[in-house]
Amino acid sequence: MHSMKPELSSASNRKNKNTPTDDDEEDEKIGIEHKFALDLRLETGSKGRPKLIMGGYAFFRNNSSNNKTYWLCSKNRMMKCRARIITLDGCSGMILKNQVHNHPPTEQ
């Protein structure tokens, strides 16, 4: 089983823009994006395939092309869950696509 430290993901908007912090002015000057930690693990599934766990939900690798890997929710077929993730260059970045699951979390 492979475990991965939580990665940082970029967020272009803060929830509360009216509350400046000491770092905000510096971020704007040099163009740093705001980042937040995700509960993210990379494991090996029961059939030996890579399994991405995020926020208690499991995703299985569906396809890869160029620098993108496409992941589908593990309940995609059984419950027709449409949640998906795209990782960039391994797991250096990610695009969250439709994170609305139609079932409770599957992992702990």
Our CA angle for 78, 70, 43, nearest 5°, is 75
Domain that holds residue 48: 8-12+24-97
Task: Assess whether pLDDT exceeds 60 at residue 94.
Answer: yes
Query: Does residue 105 fall inside a structural domain?
Result: no
| CA–CA separation, 75 and 106 (whole Å) | 9
| CA–CA separation, 64 and 50 (whole Å) | 12
Query: Does residue 17 fall inside a structural domain?
Result: no
**11, 17, 26, 82, 101 from 75: Cα distances, Å:** 27, 36, 43, 9, 9
User: Any idea of the CA torsion for 75, 79, 81, 87, to the nearest 10 degrees?
Assistant: 20
What is the pLDDT at residue 27? 42
Query: Does residue 18 fall inside a structural domain?
Result: no
What is the pLDDT at residue 108? 67
Contact 61, 47 (CB under 8 A): no
Could you tell me which residue, 92 or 17, shows the higher pLDDT? Answer: 92
Structural domain total, the chain = 1
Query: Does residue 1 fall inside a structural domain?
Result: no
| CA–CA separation, 96 and 87 (whole Å) | 9
Query: Does residue 78 fall inside a structural domain?
Result: yes
What is the pLDDT at residue 38? 64
Q: What is the pLDDT of residues 2-46, one digit of tens each?
A: 444 444 444 433 344 444 444 444 444 444 444 445 677 888 888
What is the pLDDT at residue 90? 64
Per-residue pLDDT, averaged over 57-76, amounts to 88
Q: What CATH number is given to the structural domain containing 46?
A: 2.20.25.240
Query: Does residue 72 fall inside a structural domain?
Result: yes
Query: Which of 36-45, 58-67, 68-77 is predicted with the least confidence, judged by mean pLDDT?
Result: 36-45
